[in-house]
Structure 1
Amino acid sequence: MRWLLAALYIIAGIAHLRDPALFVRITPDWVPAPDAVIALTGVAELLGAMALIQPWSGRLRQAAGIGLALYALCVWPANIHHMTMDLANPDGGWGLAYHVPRMLLQPVLIWLALWTGEVVGPAAPGKWHRRTG
C-alpha cells in the first residue's frame, strides 16, 4: 500500500507541475498566489512520495506520512470548492459519481498516509500506541 500511495502522489505531483492551469482553475479564490501554490503542492507530493518509499529511515517515512496526511487535509477545501463549482455548471460537470467518492476517500487518504508512514498501526513506534496497564 505504501508503494501504491507513493505512486498516486508521484502521478499527482507530476500532473501539478506539467499542467498547473488545470489545478489553478479549481483553486479557491482565497488561496494567495495560486500558481506558486500549485507548483509547491506538486513538489510536496513528489517529495512526500519519495520519503514514504525510501528504505533507510523510519523517521523520514513517518515525517512523510504526517506531511502527506496534512497535505490531504489542507487540499480538502479545494476539493470541496471544485465540487461545488463543477456541480454548478449547467451540464453538471463531472457529476456526483465523481465528486462524492472523491470526498469520501479524502479521510481514507489521510489515514493511509499515516498508516503507510508507520505513524499509526502495528509498525508504529511504541510512543504512538496506547499504553495499557
Structure 2
Amino acid sequence: MIRTGLRWILAAFYFLAGFIHIVSPTPFLKIMPAWVPAAEQVVLWTGIAELLGAIGLAQAFSMPLRRAAAVGLALYAVCVFPANINHFIMDMAQADGGAGLGYHVPRMFAQPMLIWLALWTGGVTDWPLGPRKA
C-alpha cells in the first residue's frame, strides 16, 4: 500500500516536472552546465523522458514496463545530477548566496533518494525493506 502510494506520488512529481520542462524551459537552461551541447533540445527531451517515465511508472498492467520506467527514471536522475551540482555552484557564488545551503544541501541528498525511490516503487528492488536473499 505504501509502495503504491509513493509510486503514484513519484509519477505525479515526474509528470509535473516533465510538463514544466517543456512549457517553461528557461529555469532549466539557466542551470545547465556550459559543456552540455544543444541545451534547448536536452531540456525538451528531459521533459519528454520525465513524462514517459511517469506514465510507465503509474501504469498497473505491465510489471516489465513499470520496471523499465523505474530504471529509466533512476538513470535520468543520475544524468541530471551535473545540472543540480552546477546550479548549487552558480547559486552559492552569487553575492546573496542564492537559495542558500538550506535549499541545495537537501537537494543533493534528495537525488540519490529519488533514484532509490524510483527503483523501489517500480518493483526493481526491495532493498533495504525486503528480506535478504541468500
Tell me what 1:111 maps to.
116
> In 2, Cα distance between the equivalents of 1:97 and 1:107?
17
Deviation of the 1:131 alpha carbon = 4.6
TM-score scaled by structure 1?
0.91
SS in structure 1 opposite 2:31?
A: coil
Report whether the alignment pairs 1:49 with 2:38.
Answer: no
The amino acid across from 1:91 in the alignment is: D
Report whether the alignment pairs 1:35 with 2:35.
Answer: no
Deviation of the 1:11 alpha carbon = 1.1
Q: Write the deviation string for residues 68-119 of structure 1: whole angstroms up to 9, x where unpaired.
A: 0000011111100000000000011111110000001111000000001100
How many residues align? The count is 126
Tell me what 1:15 maps to.
20
SS in structure 1 opposite 2:80?
A: helix
| 1:53-72 to 2 correspondences below 5 Å | 53-72=58-77
> In 2, Cα distance between the equivalents of 1:118 and 1:4?
15
Query: Aligned residues: percent identity?
Result: 58
The runs of at least 4 aligned residues of structure 1 exceeding 2 Å deviation read: 129-132
Which of 75, 78, 86 is equivalent to 2:80?
75
The unaligned stretches of length 5 or more in structure 1 are: 123-128
SS in structure 2 opposite 1:25?
A: helix
Which of 5, 19, 25 is equivalent to 2:10?
5
> In 2, Cα distance between the equivalents of 1:93 and 1:11?
24
Tell me what 2:3 maps to.
none
> In 1, Cα distance between the equivalents of 2:103 and 2:18?
20
TM-score scaled by structure 2?
0.90
> In 1, Cα distance between the equivalents of 2:40 and 2:17?
16
Deviation of the 1:21 alpha carbon = 1.1
Q: Write the deviation string for residues 14-50 of structure 1: whole angstroms up to 9, x where unpaired.
A: 1101111110111001111000000000000000000
SS in structure 2 opposite 1:102?
A: helix
Q: Write the deviation string for residues 2-22 of structure 1: whole angstroms up to 9, x where unpaired.
A: 001001101111110111111
The unaligned stretches of length 5 or more in structure 2 are: 1-5
